[in-house]
Structure 1
Amino acid sequence: MPLTNTSVPVPQNFFVILYHAHQLLDSAGPLDILSTITKTQQGRNFTLTFLAEDLGAINLAAIPPVDADWDFEESGEMPRDDEGMVGGRGFNPTLNADVSFEDALRELRDTGKVEVNVRGRNSETGRWEVRKESRSVDVLFIPGGIGSRLYRVDNVSGERTLNVKSAIDFVKAVCLEGYVQSVVMTVCTGSDLLAHTGLLDGRRATTNAMAFEKVAARHEGPKWLEKRRWVRSLPEEVQGKEGGSGFDKEIWTSAGISAGMDLMLWFVAEVWGKEFARGVGRRLEYEWREGVGEGEVDPYYE
C-alpha cells in the first residue's frame, strides 16, 4: 500500500502504555528515534507521556509491585534458567508513569486532554519548576512483551486476571470515544493486547514472529499477516463493512522488538519524508530496513 504523506496529521504528543513485564526495547528503540528528532525543528515541540495502571514503579521483569495483593502465575511464557527456575528477576529496570489510566480517562472525558506535571524554566526567575500541561493524545503507542499475556493470581481468592486487563480497557475506551487524534502504534505483542479490544477486527496486522501462531489463534478477528516487518492499516479497510470496531484512525503494527524501530522510521518518513528518516537512522547508527515496505514479506523471516 503506497504511502501518501497526507493522511497522518503531524503529531506532537506521544502517549505510551506501560505495564509490568513489557519488553524494554519495544518502547526504548522507537522512543529514542523520537528523542533524536526533538533535537531538530520538526520535533522541538514533542511531548512524551507514560500511562499505566498505577503511578508506582513499573517493573520490566515479571515482578509484582511491592504492595501488590497478587502474584504472577508462573506459566511457560516466563524465562527460565537451565534448571527450569524462573529467571531474570534480578535484572529489573523500572519505569514510572506520569498519569494513571483512571485519571487520564477521566480527564479526557472532562476536557478532551490529559493533564501532566512537567518541568519547565520560569521565564522570570530562570529556575526550573513543576507546572501543569494539558495534552491531547496524538499517538498512542503500545509495546509488547511477556507481560501482555501473563496472568495475575489473587493471593487470597486465587482469581486469575490478565496482567494487561486495565490497559485493554483503557485503550478500548480512549480509541472508541474518539480521543486518539492521529494513529495507534504497536510493537511486538503489543498487537496481542490491542486485539483484545476488538479494534483490530477486520484489519490487517502483524506481531512478533515467534509468537505469531499463538497470537493469531487467540484472536480470529484481525487479518494477521505473517513474516511482515510492519503493517499499516487504514480505516478504509473496515469502513462500511460488518465486523469492524468503528475506530476511524490508522493502526500501525510491527513484528518483534527491534522491528519497532523500522516501524517508527517509516512513520517518520510518512510525516516528514524519507530523507529525513534516513538522517535520523544515521544519527542513531541504525540500519533502517527501508527495503521492506508496508505489508511486504521480510526475507529475514524466511
Structure 2
Amino acid sequence: MNINVILFTDFETLDVFGPVEVFGKVENYTIGYYSQQGGIVSNKDGLRIETQKIDDIKINDVLFIPGGLGTRQVVENTSLIDQIKQLAEKSRYVLTVCTGSALLARTGLLDGKKATSNKRAFDWVKSNSDRVNWIQQARWVVDGKYYTSSGVSAGIDMTLGFVSDLSGKNTAEEIAFRIEYNWQSDKHHDDFWKQ
C-alpha cells in the first residue's frame, strides 16, 4: 500500500514521523513524501525532507496530511487545496493529523461528515468550515474513508487504529509493543479535549 505524505513549510514533526514509524512497520507499505513544488521542505524543528512534486503521485492508496503552523498559510493556497481535493477524491483512504483536517475541510470533502482536530487549535480549525460535524472530545474520528485525529501524538493512535481496521487489532498491538508505545485505542476519548 502506498502512503502519500503531503508536506509543506512548517509541518509538525511528530504529526508526520509518529505515524510514519507505524506505517514503516507494516509489511508492503511504501511511504513517499510530496510537496507542491517538490524539493526540500523544512520546518521549525530544523528538519529538512526531500520531496517529489504532488503531480508525480501515481498510486492513490492513502493520502496523509499532517498539521502544524504551516497550515495557517496553506489554507489560503487555493491551488494546493485543489490538488489535495483531487488526490483525496482518488485515494482509497485519507488520513489527517492535527490541523491537517482544516486543509481537508477547505476542500469541501468533509461537508456533512464527522471529523476532529487539535484541541488547542480547534476554534481555528472549525472556522475553516461550518459544514463539518466537528467532534471535540474524540481522539480520532473515522467517517467512511476519512480518518482525522487530534493533535500531534494522537496521529500515532489514529494510525494504529487504521492499521487495526485494515490488518487486525493484533497487528496494531504488536506494532505498538515493538515501538514501546502505549496505544490509546479508544478513539472516542481524548484526555486533552478540556484543557
State the TM-score bracket (shorter-chain normalisation).
over 0.9
Per-residue CA deviation, residues 269-302 of structure 1 (Å, 9 max, x unaligned), is: 1111111111100100000012x13xx2334434
- Matched-pair contact (CA < 8 Å) for 1:17–1:167: no
3-state DSSP class of the match of 2:159? helix
In structure 2, distance between residues paired with 1:53 and 1:272: 31
CA distance in 2, matches of 1:263, 1:275: 15
Following superposition, the deviation at residue 102 of structure 1 comes to 3.5
Q: Which residue does the alignment assign to 1:17?
A: 6
Tell me how far 1:103 sits from its aligned partner.
4.1
Q: Which amino acid aligns with 1:253?
A: T
Among 13, 37, 40, the alignment partner of 1:57 is: 40
Q: Is 1:189 paired with 2:178?
A: no
Does the 8 Å contact 1:51/1:101 carry over to 2?
yes
Matched, 1:265 2:174: no
2:83 corresponds in structure 1 to 170
Q: Quick one: structure 1 residues 261 and 60, their matched pair in 2 at CA, closer, same or farther if it must change by over 3 Å?
A: same
Tell me which residue corresponds to 1:207: 117
- The residue number in structure 2 matching 1:198 is 108
Q: More helix per residue: 1 or 2? A: 2
Of residues 15, 21, 31 in structure 2, which corresponds to 1:48? 31
Cα-to-partner distance string for 1:70-117 (whole Å, 9 max, x where unaligned) = xxxxxxxxxxxxxxxxxxxxx42111113x12344xxxxxxxxx2xxx
Once superposed, which parts of structure 1, at least 4 consecutive aligned residues long, lie more than 6 Å away?
Answer: none
Gap runs ≥5 in structure 1: 1-11, 38-42, 62-90, 105-113, 115-135, 152-160, 235-249
Contact 2:119 2:192 in 1 (8 A): no
TM score, norm. by length of structure 1: 0.61
Answer yes or no: is 1:93 the counterpart of 2:3. no
Q: Is this contact kept in 1: 2:38–2:54, CA < 8 A?
A: no
Structure 1 match to 2:55:
102
Alignment counterpart, residue 297 of structure 1, candidates 186, 189, 194:
189
> What RMSD over aligned residues (CA atoms) do the two structures have, in Å?
1.7
- 2:72 aligned residue: 149
Q: Is the 8 A contact 1:52 1:167 kept in 2?
A: no
User: Which position in structure 2 is the counterpart of 1:154?
Assistant: none
Which of 1 and 2 has greater Rg? 1
Q: C-alpha separation between the residues in 2 aligned to 1:233 and 1:208?
A: 17
CA distance in 2, matches of 1:284, 1:166: 37
Distance 1:55 1:282, change over 3 A: same
Q: Which amino acid aligns with 1:277?
A: A
Structure 2 residues not aligned, in runs of 5+:
none
TM-score, scaled relative to structure 2: 0.93
Work out the CA distance in 1 between the residues paired with 2:71 and 2:123.
Answer: 15
| SS in structure 2 at match of 1:95 | strand
